[in-house]
């Protein structure tokens, strides 16, 4: 395949740990340009991964006609303005999750995207975890009608001990461009968006749209817990547990109970490059089935999926703009439900739909 020529905006931690090496390893992409406001970060990215150009300003990268597609790897508050600028410059876009930090700005992007024929994917890389892909295929195929889903994302109190060992040593800079307000200053909101966007997107990938939520929230000594009852559009009952942090190891996965079988999934931190352990019991043969999932590089597979769609292949796994908006709407509904004393909230109502 004619490789897609990629430019990356943002050379911070996620670019260094995931996207830059993933572009270089992808079988259908080539890194053409890097961009970061920090000279140190863009120079380091250029030296380490090779590219034709390094820019300080995103507008310069977007004006480079060699760049066909961009990866937007910047703070959440910058996702939508940069995605809009990239679409208006005629580029395809892979934007980091969460799609945006507010529902209103995500909807602005929807309007702009609707008037282009460009590909826009949201970087929910767990959709490219081979175990989760298998669960998706079984859920939407042989397992038949779904009854109930339970998903959890419980971050370890030792997360950074583990990820510091797994990540490359980051190049850091004091002149990196940050939002005016530190997103981590409202830790409760930040944690819900940054981790909840994975929990909600995986649930939607396995079971479809979430139509209403009822959330209980509790916090003890800096640890936050959101327990949400949810209902999916097809009537599937759901429970989503987001707890950051637990006193224990990273604990993430889901169960699905369906008409013709069930699924148990255990997901690892993506930095282990190990696909989820998934077991599917099918009642037709009374057997458990377990995929190997040997290729655990969800970030590289995500870029390969993005480039394949740009080159005309059908979308198989990717989170599109509607998925990105839906995740932000569900997380907003959870916040409102918790604030309103755990009342049921309709997601469409939060999203401003009739
Ligand atoms: N999918 C995942 O597993 C995963 C993991 C971690 C982070 N993320 C997401 O990745 C995103 C980025 O995270 P990070 O920790 O790398 O962020 P960061 O803010 O530390 O780094 C972003 C970099 O982008 C640069 N930048 C921002 N706006 C720019 C602009 N207009 N022009 C040029 N450079 C610009 C900054 O200078 C900075 O160096 C976040 O949205 C986060 O939620 C995803």
d(CA 215, CA 82): 32
Ligand 1 touching residue 96 (CB < 6 A): yes
Ligand 1 touching residue 207 (CB < 6 A): no
In sequence order, which residues have a C-beta less than 8 Å from that of residue 320 and are 6 or more positions away?
120, 121, 122
**Ligand 1 atom nearest residue 15's Cα:** 16
pLDDT at 353: 64
Q: What is the pLDDT along the chain (354 residues), one digit of tens a residue?
A: 799 999 999 999 999 999 999 999 999 999 999 999 999 999 999 999 999 999 999 999 999 999 999 999 999 999 999 999 999 999 999 999 999 999 999 999 999 999 999 999 999 999 999 999 999 999 999 999 999 999 999 999 999 999 999 999 999 999 999 999 999 999 999 999 999 999 999 999 999 999 999 999 999 999 999 999 999 999 999 999 999 999 999 999 999 999 999 999 999 999 999 999 999 999 999 999 999 999 999 999 999 999 999 999 998 899 999 999 999 999 999 999 999 999 999 999 998 765
d(CA 191, CA 107): 22
pLDDT at 161: 97
For the chain, which residues make up each domain, given as ranges?
A: 4-125, 126-294+318-350
Q: Do domains 4-125 and 126-294+318-350 have the same CATH topology?
A: no
Ligand 1 touching residue 324 (CB < 6 A): no
pLDDT at 27: 97
d(CA 66, CA 27): 19
Superfamily for the 4-125 domain = NAD(P)-binding Rossmann-like Domain (3.40.50.720)
Ligand 1 touching residue 40 (CB < 6 A): no
In sequence order, which residues have a C-beta less than 8 Å from that of residue 36 and are 6 or more positions away?
9, 10, 11, 12, 42, 45, 56, 176, 177
d(CA 348, CA 335): 15
CB 133 within 8 A of CB 222: no
Ligand 1 centre distance from Cα of residue 73 (Å): 4
Ligand 1 touching residue 58 (CB < 6 A): yes
pLDDT at 318: 97
Ligand 1 touching residue 77 (CB < 6 A): no
Residue 175 CB neighbours (<10 A): 11
Nearest residue (CA) to ligand 1, atom 4:
14
Assign domain 126-294+318-350 to its CATH architecture. Answer: 2-Layer Sandwich (3.30)
């Amino acid at each position: 395949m004619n490789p897609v020529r990629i430019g990356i905006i943002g050379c911070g931690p996620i670019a260094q740990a995931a996207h830059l090496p993933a572009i270089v390893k992808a079988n259908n992409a080539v890194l053409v340009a890097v961009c970061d406001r920090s000279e140190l970060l863009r120079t380091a990215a250029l030296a380490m991964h090779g590219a034709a150009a390094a820019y300080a300003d995103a507008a310069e990268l977007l004006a480079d006609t060699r760049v066909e597609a961009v990866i937007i790897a910047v703070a959440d508050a910058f996702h939508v303005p940069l995605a809009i600028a990239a679409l208006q410059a005629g580029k395809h876009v892979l934007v980091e999750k969460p799609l945006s930090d507010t529902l209103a700005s995500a909807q602005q992007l929807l309007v702009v995207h609707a008037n282009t024929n460009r590909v826009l994917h949201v970087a929910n890389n767990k959709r490219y975890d081979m175990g989760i892909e298998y669960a998706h295929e079984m859920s939407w195929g042989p397992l038949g009608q779904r009854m109930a889903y339970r998903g959890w994302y419980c971050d370890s109190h030792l997360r950074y001990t583990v990820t510091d060992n797994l990540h490359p040593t980051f190049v850091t800079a004091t002149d990196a461009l940050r939002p005016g307000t530190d997103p981590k200053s409202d830790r409760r909101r930040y944690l819900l968006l940054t981790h909840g966007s994975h929990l909600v997107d995986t649930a939607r990938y396995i079971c479809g749209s979430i139509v209403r939520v009822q959330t209980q929230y509790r916090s003890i000594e800096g640890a936050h817990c959101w327990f949400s009852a949810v209902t999916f559009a097809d009537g599937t009952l759901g429970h989503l547990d987001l707890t950051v942090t637990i006193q224990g190891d990273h604990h993430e996965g889901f169960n699905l109970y369906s008409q013709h079988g069930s699924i148990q999934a255990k997901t690892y931190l993506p930095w282990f490059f190990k696909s989820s352990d998934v077991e599917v019991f099918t009642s037709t043969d009374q057997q458990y089935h377990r995929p190997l999932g040997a290729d655990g590089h969800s970030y590289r597979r995500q870029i390969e999926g993005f480039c394949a769609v740009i080159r005309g292949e059908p979308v198989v796994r990717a989170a599109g703009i509607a998925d990105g908006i839906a995740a932000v709407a569900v997380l907003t509904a959870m916040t409102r439900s918790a604030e309103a004393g755990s009342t049921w909230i309709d997601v469409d109502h939060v999203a401003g739909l009739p």
